[in-house]
Amino acid sequence: MTPSRRPRRGREDVLAAATALFHERGHDATSMSDIADRLGVTKAALYRHVRGRAEVLREVTGPVRAHLRSLPAVSAAADGRSPVAELTELLDALARAAAADPVRHAVFWGVGATPSPDAADAVCRASVAGRLAHLLARAAGRGETRCDLGPSVTARLLVGAVVGTAAGGADEGEVFGGRQGPGGEPGAEGSPSVVDVLLDGLLRPPAGPRRP
């Protein structure tokens, strides 16, 4: 009898399997052997296409980095608009990006797991958080938002809430409310988006002191 042959796999197959496993188990809990087992090939066969797990992760999250860096809201200088308007634009852009490619964004941001440890990913995340913190500080300075927490902490909380909801399995109606989702379909008419709810909390005047 002719011995059974292992399937022939290419680089894109390796990246697809790795993306799924990173999402399911987290990057730290996924080995090259796990990727090989998912593909039904030997571990040695993987090294014909990639040099190691670090390269695989960089390729998996590369589209997220590229998209985030291309967003005008991430790097744009103030254009005379209210910082709250710019903040809304940036959070909407993050929600749409995460909803359009939820698995890669979950790996990149660490939804349900640790964030990608790739150095370029860390720099990109810091850039987004820094931009949000800058806008929050401007808005607080103008009296437009509450400042119960520092801008940096608030920025990280906002990113976690927006990306976690958009990449965590919520449907478009839950993420975008009455706004148009990434697929072009409108959400439920009149319902607030995740961004609307978050900013409503920031814009609402702080409650008075609690009674004992």
Lowest mean pLDDT among 3-12, 29-38, 65-74, 127-136: 3-12
Domain ranges of the chain: 11-51, 61-203
Question: What DSSP designation does 49 have?
Answer: T
Mean pLDDT of the chain: 86
Query: Do residues 196 and 177 make contact, with C-beta atoms less than 8 angstroms apart?
Result: yes
pTM: 0.85
pLDDT of residue 185: 60
**149 pLDDT higher than 50:** yes
Please, which pLDDT band fits residue 191 given cuts at 50, 70 and 90?
A: confident
pLDDT of residue 211: 38
pLDDT of residue 178: 66
What is the average per-residue pLDDT within 188-197?
Answer: 76
What is the average per-residue pLDDT within 126-154?
Answer: 91
Please, which pLDDT band fits residue 197 given cuts at 50, 70 and 90?
A: confident
% of the chain with per-residue pLDDT over 90: 61
Lowest mean pLDDT among 6-15, 44-53, 69-78, 182-191: 182-191
pLDDT of residue 162: 94
Question: In whole angstroms, what is the distance from residue 202 CA to residue 157 CA?
Answer: 12
Which is more confidently placed, 19 or 1?
19
pLDDT of residue 209: 44
Question: In whole angstroms, what is the distance from residue 191 CA to residue 180 CA?
Answer: 12
pLDDT of residue 212: 38
What is the average per-residue pLDDT within 181-189?
Answer: 59
- The domain 11-51 having CATH identifier 3.40.50.300: the answer here is no
**143 pLDDT higher than 70:** yes
pLDDT of residue 199: 85
Question: What DSSP designation does 50 have?
Answer: -
CATH architecture of 61-203: Orthogonal Bundle (1.10)
pLDDT of residue 11: 93
DSSP string, 85-126: HHHHHHHHHHHHHHHHSHHHHHHHHTTTSPPP--HHHHHHHH
**210 pLDDT higher than 50:** no
Cα–Cα distances (Å) from 122 to 163, 183, 188, in that order, read 16, 28, 35
pLDDT of residue 12: 95
